[in-house]
Amino acid sequence: MTKKEFVEDFELAMNEEFATVVRVGREMPDLSELEYVVNTEENYEAKLEYYKKAYDDNMCLKAFNKIKIVTVEFFHSEGGFWSDIKDFD
């Protein structure tokens, strides 16, 4: 995932009518499963700006490039499920 793709996906989630929470999946060097960071509606804009500044063009954390964002999903409040952004293009 590139930064451009990440920003587009995050913005799609922000604008999805039923998205109450956006979660970002990150690969971590010492974990076998993804770590998820949960972003609430109140924090969408601030978190997106943080991600833009803190991650490089390949979505690796600039301060420690072994941490990488690989997914963006949102919680569908009406359906009660987590959805990958690409499913709603």
pLDDT at residue number 18: 74
Per residue in 2-28, pLDDT (tens digit) is 999 999 989 988 888 778 889 999 999
Residue boundaries of the structural domains of the chain: 3-88
pLDDT at residue number 81: 67
Who wins on pLDDT, 72 or 18?
A: 72
Kindly report the pTM of this predicted structure.
0.85
Contacts 24+ apart (CB under 8 A), 63-66: 66/28, 66/29
62: left (phi over 0), alpha (psi -120 to 50) or beta: alpha
